[in-house]
Amino acid sequence: MLDFVQQLVSGIALGCVYGLIALGFVLVYKATEVVNFAQGDLMMLGGFFAFTFIGILGLNYWIGFAGAVVAMALFGMAAERVVVRPILGYPQFSIIMATIGLGFFLRSVAGMIWGTDDLKIETPFSQGVLRIGSLVLAYDKLSVIAATIILCAMLYLFFNRTTLGTAMRASSENMLAAYYMGIPVKRVVSIVWAISAAVATAAGVLLAPITFIHSNVGLVLGLKAFPAAVLGGFGSIPGAVVGGILIGVIESMAGFYLPQGWKDVAPYIVLLLVLLLKPEGLFGHHARKKV
Amino acid sequence: MRFMFKTDYEDDIKLFPHGGYIVTYGVLLAFLAVAPFVLSSYLVSQMVFVFIYATVGVGLMILTGFTGQASLGHAAFLAIGAYTAGYLQQYDVPFPVYFLVAGVLTGVVGAMVGFPALRLQGIYLVIATISFAFIIEEILARWESVTHGNEGMRVKAVQFFGSTVSRDSPSFYFLCLAVLALAILATLNLLRSPTGRAFVAIRDSETAARSMGVNVSLYKVKSFAISAAITGFAGVLFAHKMSFISPEMFTLQLSIEFIIVILIGGAFSPHGAVLGAIFIVMIDPFLTYLKDDVPGMIAAVAATFGAGAETAAAVKSNVAAFASANGLKGAIYGVIIVLFVLFEPLGLYGRWLKIKLFFQLFPLYKRATFKRQKIYVKSERNR
């Protein structure tokens, strides 16, 4: 029983990681109907920025963290301006390919600049564990869980309660109509990319003690975050987190109870099943055009 | 400027619209026929890879270019073809038999992927095909009694009616060329048939196709099956050319390379598959060239412009360090993909058509001929 609870808790912690990355996918999708395949790589880059600020320049952890978030938000805007804006309005597949290309580019360039070793950031959460009875929880994992909940709540309120959030939802439904209603669609898209790059950076920095920072971390985790986003329904913020937690729990249970090899494929099998049985996900809404 | 005067449908669907095509392709075929005897063995070997990649490109084009269903899982189909060949070869099954079996088996798997894909669109389909490819990769690594797991599998040379066709021989080159030519011919014929017309209709508008009485589900599954089968055939050749196969050869990276093939070549014509395959295969020799020769050349240029010997040497070492940097290939892929998506979505073959039209219409060419329509209205969620 204790094994089960321990697996469950570590699955939830892992799932929050996926959820945090999936949040970035969902944000961009929610506002622009673009799926950003470079999301994981933005996270990786955010980690490297934080490493530069904290590890190399020797800044305080929190200042470095904030600096990385701001720098990456600007970078996200720049990436949107150069890669995505010229092809807004073209078929989704072009944009997917463009972001895949962006991901390739970021991975290689990060590898060239920061090398291919695993890097580490000293964080306040790196050490220490929380003990509840005989249950053991590391602080670094707790920090991820806490950050996921806070970010999720903030973004949920942002999308549902603020004018800007409403503008974002409107421009995803129909860019042209939103533009006619006076919404500056281009600026909205640019802001949403900044936000999603900032969320990715937060994920990257919080993950640094757990997964370390190397140039492929984004690809590996990004691909695991897809099932999370799909499971939750691609356009739903709470869905991304719930989906992430489910995927994390499934993965850690499969690793513990099933033969070797299942751990890696279990998320994808779940993903295919969800796509087959309930393509709109757990929280998504599905509308069909009547002809 | 040549005016094509068409009087009936048969004229419109001719494989060679006019005599010029026969001459051009005749010359190309003649060149390809003598190539293995004239060119260096390295170049011939690269050409064999071009043929194999182009075959996959043609297969993927049927699905992505003509039916509009994106797939990032074609490496898995290639793997199924390759492993079927490797497995059956152990039991002395003759080449023509396992070649066909591999194609058919991959086609069946393709249809099986096609059924769940019916309900999916756009991004969901991409993610589903990625997941499928991951699962296949894991199966290949774990099903050790058949695939030998991560140790990989040796594939012997082709045995064709008692004679051995080694992977570097001209005969193998011609085998691959023949498979590519047949694949292209089959694709062109498919596109002229009702099935191909239905594919294109589904790509352009699923709703419209359905209202015209096209059985969308049936044709999507067909498209998946045909595309997978062609990729499976290419997989057999791939296995023989590599002579060793292991699960880590069939990763997401390879699937992306296949997509790059048709993206860079142009996804609307088999010409594109060949051009894209040439690009993908030649990028490795190009990088080697960049590493070995370019630094010296740049240093020589710097020296002629009056740089001292020391500066020239420094320039040389800097350029060499950049050219041999780890992951330069990935960066080049990334930049090329982005540039093509942004500036030449029709690919190299599209660019060629534009240049041709420019000279044909000179001075009346206008850019708007090839302009893409931007759609800001449609939300793919409410399709």
Which range (A120-129, A135-144, A215-224) has the least confidence? A120-129
A105/B330 Cβ within 8 A: yes
pLDDT at B121: 74
Does residue A129 have a pLDDT over 90? no
Q: Map tokens 């590996």 to a residue.
A: A220
Sequence-ordered list of residues with C-beta below 8 angstroms from that of B288, at least 6 positions apart, any chain: none
Give the integer Cα–Cα distance in Å for B156 and B90: 9
- Give the pair of three-digit tokens for residue A215: 């140039």
The DSSP string of B22-74 is HHHHHHHHHHHHHHHHHS-HHHHHHHHHHHHHHHHHHHHIIIIIIS----S-H
Question: Which residues in chain A have their CB less than 8 angstroms from residue B126's CB?
Answer: 35, 93, 96
Nearest CB to B341: which of A98, A264, A286? A98
Averaged confidence pLDDT in chain B: 88
A268/B342 Cβ within 8 A: no
Question: Which residues in chain A have their CB less than 8 angstroms from residue B372's CB?
Answer: 90
Give the integer Cα–Cα distance in Å for A197 and B340: 24
- Residues A225-263: tens digit of each pLDDT: 888 888 888 778 888 889 999 999 998 888 888 887 788
* Interface subset of A 227-256, CB within 8 angstroms of B: 227, 230, 234-235
pLDDT at A13: 83
Angle (nearest 5°) at CA A278 between B377 and A253? 125
B379/A33 Cβ within 8 A: yes
User: A130 forms bridges with which residues in the sheet?
Assistant: A137
- Residues B325-353: tens digit of each pLDDT: 767 888 888 999 999 988 888 899 999 98
Give the integer Cα–Cα distance in Å for B69 and B64: 5
More confident residue, B87 or B116: B87
Q: How far is CA A90 from the centre of its chain?
A: 24
Any CB–CB contact under 8 A between A188 and chain B?
no
* Rounded mean pLDDT, B322-327: 73
To test the contact with chain A by mutation, choose from B126, B377, B381 the residue with the greatest count of A C-beta atoms within 10 A, namely B381
ipTM over 0.90 threshold = no
| Greatest pairwise CA separation for chain A in angstroms | 62
Contact B254, B75 (CB under 8 A): yes
Indicate the DSSP class of residue B152.
Answer: -
A291/B374 Cβ within 8 A: no
Does residue A287 have a pLDDT over 60? no
Nearest CB to B334: which of A108, A174, A268? A108
The C-alpha of B168 sits at a distance from chain A's nearest C-alpha, in angstroms, of: 33
Averaged confidence pLDDT in chain A: 85
Percentage of chain A modeled with pLDDT above 90 = 20
End-to-end CA distance of chain B: 43
Give the integer Cα–Cα distance in Å for A82 and A97: 14
pTM of the model: 0.89
Does residue B229 have a pLDDT over 90? yes
| Angular region, A40: left φ>0, alpha ψ -120 to 50, beta rest | alpha
Nearest CB to B337: which of A33, A90, A101? A101
B123/A265 Cβ within 8 A: no
Does residue A290 have a pLDDT over 50? no
- Residue in chain B closest to A281 (alpha carbons) equals B124
* B173 pLDDT tier (thresholds 50, 70, 90): very high
Q: How many residues belong to chain A?
A: 291
Contact A27, A196 (CB under 8 A): yes
Give the integer Cα–Cα distance in Å for B122 and B125: 6
- Residues A49-58: tens digit of each pLDDT: 999 998 888 8
Sequence-ordered list of residues with C-beta below 8 angstroms from that of B240, at least 6 positions apart, any chain: B85, B155, B157, B158, B167, B172
pLDDT at B19: 82
- Residues A161-202: tens digit of each pLDDT: 999 989 988 887 788 888 899 999 889 989 999 999 999 998
The C-alpha of A143 sits at a distance from chain B's nearest C-alpha, in angstroms, of: 30
Q: Map tokens 């058949």 to a residue.
A: B146
B131/A101 Cβ within 8 A: no
